[in-house]
Amino acid sequence: MRTPWYKFSEVTVAHQGWELWLMRAIFSWLLWRLLPVDIPYVHQPVPNGLGLLFNLTFLADGGLYAVLRMIFGLALLLFTAGLVPSLSLGYTALLLTMVGALENSQGAIGHHLQLACLVALTQWCVYCTGWQGGVKALLRPALDRHLLATHWAKLVIVASYVTSACVKLIASEGRWIGQLPDISLQLIKTHANVYYDTLWPQTGWMATELPQFIANHPHLTRIFFTPGLLLELFAFIALTGRRAGMIWGAGLLAMHLLVRWVMNLSFSSHEWLLTIYLINVPFLCWWGYTWLRQRMLASPVAVPTDK
């Protein structure tokens, strides 16, 4: 019996085994890309996250961190192959979370690792709950366990966007759309930070004319940016099926690319997570190939003539 669309938290897309393998492979590549080559932080002046419980500065030891990073890579290979995810993914999630906590313990909070760590930790919890199937199920989970882990990854991604929209509305006391023209000040601040970091004058249109244009056209600014808030607020629609996930994921990806273009703010890990789990580019490529092949086979074959 098919799950009703409105019970979106229970709608599990029937991904094929090769899809799940590619998802794990690309996600593993993303985690490896997010793990820094070295750790420059030898102090944690303002402990945050796991830093409140442990002194994480041991990660700054170059020799030790090199070994931890090598094990990280091996663990990702095991996870990609679908082997011992309760250990392999658990280790990678823990190390990346510790690195993020140490970075956030320097006095400034960043969230470029947050969603990726949440997705990894959530999937690890799903794999750990497979102990009822015995040792074999923990060593090499069945397809349904990978499907459940992927489903929960989508839930976490969607929940993060809905939460982001709610925070915007709560922090602004419901006036977020009305305050959108104030984004011009944020643009000036962003480009000023780029200048102070690089000492390169920001003389382009984005840095000089766009903030004034936004301030002079407040209603146009609201029309342009409000869809982003709505995409986040109703992101749970992406859980109603494969097609809805692709459409909503593409919309959220477009929102991130717009933010990157206008505000010079990059959320590359978020973009990749949307691409992996909601848009699912590998499936789109397979679908496009299948559709094109069927069209070619269905087309009439030219019959040679003597003319």
pLDDT above 50 (res 304)? no
> What percent of the chain is modeled with pLDDT above 70?
81
Residues in contact with 227: Cβ distance below 8 Å, sequence separation at least 6, in sequence order? 251, 255
Per-residue pLDDT, 85: 94
Helix axes 62-80, 17-34, angle to 10 degrees: 170
pLDDT at residue 303 tops 60: no
- Cβ neighbours of 108 (radius 10 Å): 9
Least confident of 66-80, 140-154, 170-184: 170-184
Residues 74-102, mean pLDDT to the nearest whole number: 95
Q: What is the pLDDT of residue 223?
A: 78
pLDDT at 114: 92
The C-alpha angle with vertex 31 and arms to 229 and 284, in degrees rounded to 5, equals 65
Reported as a single tens digit per residue, the pLDDT across 87-100 is: 999 999 999 999 99
* For residues 48-54, average pLDDT: 90
Round the average pLDDT of the chain to a whole number and report it: 84
pLDDT at 251: 94
Categorize the per-residue pLDDT at 301 as very low, low, confident or very high, splitting at 50, 70 and 90: very low
Percent with pLDDT over 90 in the chain = 49
Residue 81: closest CA among 90, 89, 92 = 89
Most confident of 8-22, 171-185, 216-230, 245-259: 245-259
Following DSSP, what letter does each residue of the chain receive, concatenated?
-PPPTT-GGG------HHHHHHHHHHHHHHHHHHS-SS------SS--GGGGTS-GGGGG-HHHHHHHHHHHHHHHHHHHTT--HHHHHHHHHHHHHHHHHHHGGGSS---TTHHHHHHHHHHHHHHHGGGGG-HHHHHS--HHHHHHHHHHHHHHHHHHHHHHHHHHHHHTTT-TTTTGGGHHHHHHHHHHHHHHHH-----SHHHHTHHHHHHH-HHHHHHHHHHHHHHHHTGGGGGG-HHHHHHHHHHHHHHHHHHHHHH----HHHHHHIIIIII-HHHHHHHHHHHHHHHHHHSPPPPP---
Closest CA to 97 of 120, 128, 129, 130: 120
Give the model's pLDDT for residue 30.
Answer: 96
Q: Please state the rounded mean pLDDT for residues 68-73.
A: 96
| Confidence bin at 186 (pLDDT 50/70/90) | low
Banded model confidence at residue 108, pLDDT cuts 50, 70, 90: confident
Per-residue pLDDT tens for 136-158?
Answer: 777 889 899 999 999 999 999 99
Higher pLDDT, 124 or 302: 124
